Chain A
Amino acid sequence: MDPAFLAVQALSGLSSASSLFITACGLTIVFGVTRIVNFAHGSLYMIGAYTAATLVPRLLELSFGPVTFWAGILASAVIVGLIGVIIEVLLLRRIYGAPELFQLLATFGVVLVVQDLVVQVFGPQDILGPRAPGLRAPVEILGRRFPSYELVLIAAGPIVLGLVWLLLRKTRFGVLVRAATQDRDMVASLGVNQALLFTGTLFLGAFLAGLGGALQIPRVSANTGMDLSIIAEAFVVTVVGGMGSVPGAFLAALIIGQLQAFGILIFPKSTLVVVFLLMAVVLAIRPHGFFGRAEIVGGTHAVGISSRAPLPGRQLILLVVIAVLAAFPLLADAYLLKVATEILIFALFAFSLQLLIGVGGVVSFGHAAFFGLGAYGAALAVKWYGVSMEAALPLGLALAALGACLVGAFVVRLSGIYLAMMTLAAAQILYAVAFQWVDVTGGDNGIVGVWPSSWASGPAPYYLLTAALTVVTVLLLKRIIDAPFGYALRAARDSESRAEAIGLKVRQHRWMAFMIAGAAAGLAGGLYAFSRGSVDPSLLGISTSVDALTMLLLGGIQTVMGPLVGAAALHALRDWIMPLTSLWRLLLGLSIIAMVLIFPRGLVGTVRDWWEARA
């Protein structure tokens, strides 16, 4: 390979690194001060791009020139900064003390809301921004043309780093931000106006996200997929660099930029995997990234199921539930059976997650990994080995359990937010594999023709099969939760150090829980594949993980049976409302936020509290 080509490729890598750093830097500052991992940071980036792509051309019509262009970019970033302030005042301010899971979900709710609002405000079409005046012509580098705008971007990264450094080192605001990053409570006790400090931080973070997005408009058209693709990369940068560390983010962005630029030459079809593999490797060696600090022990607060006396007459209730499930095909038509089948599958999926989060306190943000592995395991077995459904379902389950075993081995070493990020990374790696390993998984095409065996192919038989498997698995899991193993997990959730002190092997228990939960999710995934007849990478995507978490939260995370009710409620609602509105994501996002803010105990928890208060 000739040196000119390598040089151009390295410069491309530097310019993506710069863009990535500017965005990720905002994320890491916000996390450092507020301890919230802001999923909506990617949405702010997207708003920045849309605002600039709409605003800058109008300004350029008024007066064409470089000054107008750059003023437009800055104005867009300021607008996004103000939107960040609104989000802080309305939402984040209320959840600083909430458990991480709730924070992650609430900010993801914002992501959903913004996705629909952006389409409403800017229209569904992608918007290509104008080129920067004066930077249209390329420059020659070793005889090759290179876009001059990219050179500006390369410079922008270090400039932002320098300005942020000055801000943090030389101003009172910066001193406070650094102090809050080190010890939030101490800053509060010293009488600093926290509300103002946090709002200011959010403005800075959102401004940087908006700037990152606005700077993209001459190279990328503003589109509705920008938020999730940048947030995934920004997470990697902040986690690899160490959460809260600005220089760490810079270093990580540089590495990732080069990895992407040269990765495209070595693995032209696996660019997405490389980035997340880097994160997995770094976290395996340094559990807190390059420059991150260990979180204060006890700083996280797990929520989960509480122990209480078993309900009287529960056997009777169980029998009634089973009888109703079994009799359902007599009453329902084909479509209702289809919906009921899906509800059962999601109930199993959410229930398996409850074992991890509610019982084990292991906040997994990538449970879709095992759902998807189960689905893909079954579908691949059908596609490549022509096995029947009876054999494919156990194979899917086995693949999911194996995946959980591998992922779990890494994950159980971590805690808190790093753990959540690692599970997310695992799911994203699998997503990328399914998406880009086209020869085996079919890539975006997915795998079609995954239909059940003929005895189970009608809606009623397949429903009964699903119901039987779901009931048996849920009862098994319930038994595990009530066994000493389940209590050991709860002990470790409530106090890791005490659990260890009485001789419990916390990591091994959690690892085991990971495998059990993974296997159960895999079974759900396999059943789902056969109910749809196809699999595609979206089964492994972030939104599938969030679905499971939403069901958990909706049903009530402190109750054992909450996820089952949550799955039924969410899926029935979705089936009912989705065909009627184009604003489904907006509604879902708002409901998630509402649940976190005013309804954190969920349906079952609220009903039970009300019942107990009356009694």
Chain B
Amino acid sequence: MATISTIRWLAPAWLALGAALALGAPVAQAQQAPIKIGELNSYAQWAAFTVPYRNGWQMALEEINAKGGVLGRKIEIVSRDDGATTGSATRVADELVSREGVSLLFGSFLSNVGVAMADYANQKKIVYIAAEPLTDAVTMAQGNRYTFRVRPNNFMQVGMLVDQAKASGAKRWAIVAPNYEYGQSAAAVFKRLIQERVPGAQIVAEQYPALGKIEAGATASAIEQAKPDGIFNVLFGPDLTQFVREGNTRGLFEDTTVLSLLTGEPEWLLPLKDEVPEGWTVTGYPWDEIKEPKHKAFIDAYRAKYNDTPRLGSLLGYMVMTMIRDAIERAGSTETEAIIKALEDAKFDTVIGPITMRGIDNQSTMGAWVGKLVLKGATGGMTDWTYKEGASFMPTEAEVKAVRKD
């Protein structure tokens, strides 16, 4: 289900051309043809994250094209909905590559879709930059030289959380995670790291509700039954909202240490409204307390432009777009091999500071904000947080070499 039609970006403002015009728009201009880049994401199914994400890359794109684009050419993004299933995403990607002739692909939200896209990129030998998919597989077991990722993966984010768990003294852990690639990967990493880093820790309950189909009451009471003193949560979106409501009602989170992936991100925190489970240790995005001038300037510009507060998706979309611009400029062309060379082990100067795209697994060193949830007025936010550099939490080179097939 395509959410937006082919969009042609014409400096300085952009025009979304409608149905009839999309195929052969007569934009005969003296300048060179724009560089076409393919973008696909779950705009219909996961709008909470992806719409702010689209705002982010659109904002970056306008800035880039206002400055004349890259290599003397404008950038044109052809954006599609990926349908949020593996088959649909690769089909859409194929359309972007063979009909639209895009130079590289970026996007996708769900981890299973990310894995399928990585496989597709490898098969068709085209660069794919995974924006949101977090499963380790994208850069580890299923990784390949065509697939890159910007966000910190599960191994890195879980590692940050487990470090926080040491102090709590919790030993009996319960896991609740959506039963698909992302949840399975996060649960596996957690099991491994908690036993390595917290002596005597054990897993006493595991619940894997199907993504988007949680039976929250039954799940909460099954966890309660195991009497854990720590809970590791990987749920997000509607599943999370229902689980938190049931857990609050039943007092599941009282006197329990809770570690939760991504819950501090505004996209998942805002729907909880005033039922924010205070005290959870989370990874997230405390945009309202960020002081670094460059990052602050981005946040202010975003708020002014969209009249909305930024989500983590907004930041990510903006960063990915500027990194693509830098990579194409350094590559000096839009050839796949040149772009791969320009991405591997390259440093990028982003709004959150310099990050590196590690060449051995194509995983960037972008970090995450780790802190505690707190109620700020009518909605939740993060407090007591720090920004953890990604570099110190990445899997070691030996670990990467052991699982990667290339």
Which of B22, B45, B210 is the one whose CB lies under 8 Å from A436?
B210
Q: B33 interface residue, CB < 8 Å from A?
A: no
Question: Could you tell me if A124 and B245 are in contact, using CB atoms closer than 8 angstroms?
Answer: no
Contacts of A272 in B (CB 8 A): 210, 213
How far is it, in angstroms, between the C-alpha of A126 and the C-alpha of B272 when the chains are bound?
11
Question: Could you tell me if A264 and B271 are in contact, using CB atoms closer than 8 angstroms?
Answer: no
Q: B87 interface residue, CB < 8 Å from A?
A: yes
Contacts of B250 in A (CB 8 A): 138, 144-147
Q: A580 interface residue, CB < 8 Å from B?
A: yes
Q: Return A132 CB to nearest CB of chain B, in Å.
A: 12
Question: Could you tell me if B245 and A219 are in contact, using CB atoms closer than 8 angstroms?
Answer: yes
Which of A334, A446, A449 is the one whose CB lies under 8 Å from B87?
A446
Question: Could you tell me if A538 and B112 are in contact, using CB atoms closer than 8 angstroms?
Answer: no
Question: Could you tell me if B222 and A265 are in contact, using CB atoms closer than 8 angstroms?
Answer: yes
Q: Return A165 CB to nearest CB of chain B, in Å.
A: 28
Interface residues of B in 15-30 (CB under 8 A from A): 18-19, 22
Q: Return A459 CB to nearest CB of chain B, in Å.
A: 8
Contacts of B241 in A (CB 8 A): 126, 128, 221
Contacts of B271 in A (CB 8 A): 125-126, 128, 221
Interface residues of B in 224-245 (CB under 8 A from A): 224-225, 237-238, 241-242, 245
A11-34 interface code vs B (CB 8 A; 1 in, 0 out): 010011000000000000000000
Q: Return B249 CB to nearest CB of chain A, in Å.
A: 5
A101-140 interface code vs B (CB 8 A; 1 in, 0 out): 0000000000000000001000111101001000010100
Residue of A nearest to B5 (CB): A580
Chain B interface size band reads: 35 or more
Question: Could you tell me if A445 and B98 are in contact, using CB atoms closer than 8 angstroms?
Answer: no
Residue of B nearest to A145 (CB): B250
Question: Could you tell me if B225 and A126 are in contact, using CB atoms closer than 8 angstroms?
Answer: no
B194-218 interface code vs A (CB 8 A; 1 in, 0 out): 0000000000000110111101111
Contacts of A532 in B (CB 8 A): 87, 90-91
Given the known interface contacts A126-B238, A269-B208, the answer about A219 and B217 at a Cβ–Cβ threshold of 8 Å is: yes
Q: A335 interface residue, CB < 8 Å from B?
A: yes
Question: Could you tell me if A138 and B251 are in contact, using CB atoms closer than 8 angstroms?
Answer: yes
How far is it, in angstroms, between the C-alpha of A436 and the C-alpha of B210 when the chains are bound?
8
Q: B344 interface residue, CB < 8 Å from A?
A: no
B337-352 interface code vs A (CB 8 A; 1 in, 0 out): 0000000000000000
Which of A125, A131, A150, A265 is the one whose CB lies under 8 Å from B217?
A150
Contacts of A191 in B (CB 8 A): none
Given the known interface contacts A128-B241, A438-B179, the answer about A145 and B1 at a Cβ–Cβ threshold of 8 Å is: no
Given the known interface contacts A146-B250, A264-B218, the answer about A126 and B2 at a Cβ–Cβ threshold of 8 Å is: no
Question: Could you tell me if B48 and A582 are in contact, using CB atoms closer than 8 angstroms?
Answer: no
How far is it, in angstroms, between the C-alpha of A271 and the C-alpha of B117 when the chains are bound?
29
Question: Could you tell me if A445 and B180 are in contact, using CB atoms closer than 8 angstroms?
Answer: yes
Question: Could you tell me if B179 and A9 are in contact, using CB atoms closer than 8 angstroms?
Answer: no
Question: Could you tell me if B48 and A125 are in contact, using CB atoms closer than 8 angstroms?
Answer: yes
Question: Could you tell me if A534 and B119 are in contact, using CB atoms closer than 8 angstroms?
Answer: yes
Contacts of A446 in B (CB 8 A): 85-87, 112, 116
How far is it, in angstroms, between the C-alpha of A446 and the C-alpha of B87 when the chains are bound?
8
Contacts of B208 in A (CB 8 A): 268-269
Which of A126, A335, A538, A584 is the one whose CB lies under 8 Å from B98?
A335
Contacts of B74 in A (CB 8 A): none
Question: Could you tell me if A147 and B222 are in contact, using CB atoms closer than 8 angstroms?
Answer: no
Interface residues of A in 219-275 (CB under 8 A from B): 219-221, 223-225, 229, 260-261, 264-265, 268-269, 271-272
Question: Could you tell me if A268 and B85 are in contact, using CB atoms closer than 8 angstroms?
Answer: no
Question: Could you tell me if B86 and A448 are in contact, using CB atoms closer than 8 angstroms?
Answer: yes
How far is it, in angstroms, between the C-alpha of A536 and the C-alpha of B212 when the chains are bound?
16
Question: Could you tell me if B5 and A435 are in contact, using CB atoms closer than 8 angstroms?
Answer: no
Contacts of A534 in B (CB 8 A): 86-87, 90, 116, 119
Question: Could you tell me if A536 and B87 are in contact, using CB atoms closer than 8 angstroms?
Answer: yes
Q: Return A133 CB to nearest CB of chain B, in Å.
A: 15
Residue of A nearest to B91 (CB): A532
Contacts of A551 in B (CB 8 A): none
Question: Could you tell me if B99 and A335 are in contact, using CB atoms closer than 8 angstroms?
Answer: yes
Given the known interface contacts A335-B95, A448-B119, A532-B90, the answer about A264 and B215 at a Cβ–Cβ threshold of 8 Å is: yes
Interface residues of A in 516-546 (CB under 8 A from B): 532-536, 538-539
Q: A599 interface residue, CB < 8 Å from B?
A: no
Residue of A nearest to B181 (CB): A445
Q: Return A455 CB to nearest CB of chain B, in Å.
A: 16
Q: B80 interface residue, CB < 8 Å from A?
A: yes
Q: A292 interface residue, CB < 8 Å from B?
A: no
Q: A444 interface residue, CB < 8 Å from B?
A: yes
Given the known interface contacts A147-B217, A220-B242, A579-B80, the answer about A533 and B2 at a Cβ–Cβ threshold of 8 Å is: no
Contacts of B47 in A (CB 8 A): 123-125
Q: Return B178 CB to nearest CB of chain A, in Å.
A: 8
Q: A5 interface residue, CB < 8 Å from B?
A: yes
Question: Could you tell me if A580 and B2 are in contact, using CB atoms closer than 8 angstroms?
Answer: yes
Q: B246 interface residue, CB < 8 Å from A?
A: yes
A424-463 interface code vs B (CB 8 A; 1 in, 0 out): 0000000000011010000111101101000000010000
Question: Could you tell me if A579 and B86 are in contact, using CB atoms closer than 8 angstroms?
Answer: no
Which of B86, B119, B123, B210 is the one whose CB lies under 8 Å from A435?
B210
Residue of B nearest to A333 (CB): B98
How far is it, in angstroms, between the C-alpha of A395 and the C-alpha of B19 when the chains are bound?
43
How far is it, in angstroms, between the C-alpha of A119 and the C-alpha of B1 when the chains are bound?
13
Question: Could you tell me if A582 and B251 are in contact, using CB atoms closer than 8 angstroms?
Answer: no
Q: A55 interface residue, CB < 8 Å from B?
A: no
How far is it, in angstroms, between the C-alpha of A438 and the C-alpha of B115 when the chains are bound?
15
Interface residues of A in 529-584 (CB under 8 A from B): 532-536, 538-539, 578-582, 584
Question: Could you tell me if A533 and B123 are in contact, using CB atoms closer than 8 angstroms?
Answer: yes
How far is it, in angstroms, between the C-alpha of A138 and the C-alpha of B179 when the chains are bound?
29
B93-108 interface code vs A (CB 8 A; 1 in, 0 out): 0110011000000000
Q: B4 interface residue, CB < 8 Å from A?
A: yes
Q: A585 interface residue, CB < 8 Å from B?
A: yes
Q: B44 interface residue, CB < 8 Å from A?
A: yes
A–B Cβ pairs within 8 angstroms, 13 of them = A12-B217, A124-B48, A138-B250, A144-B250, A145-B251, A147-B246, A221-B241, A223-B238, A261-B218, A335-B95, A335-B98, A444-B179, A445-B180
Spell out A's residues near B (CB within 8 Å).
1, 5, 8-9, 12, 15-16, 119, 123-126, 128, 131, 136, 138, 144-147, 150, 219-221, 223-225, 229, 260-261, 264-265, 268-269, 271-272, 333-335, 338, 435-436, 438, 443-446, 448-449, 451, 459, 532-536, 538-539, 578-582, 584-585
Sort A-B residue pairs by CB-CB distance and give the 7 closest, nearest first: A124-B47, A444-B180, A445-B112, A335-B98, A335-B99, A448-B119, A580-B19
Contacts beyond the supplied A221-B271, A260-B218, A269-B179: 12 A-B pairs with Cβ under 8 Å: A9-B221, A125-B271, A126-B241, A147-B217, A219-B216, A335-B94, A451-B123, A536-B86, A578-B1, A579-B22, A579-B95, A582-B81
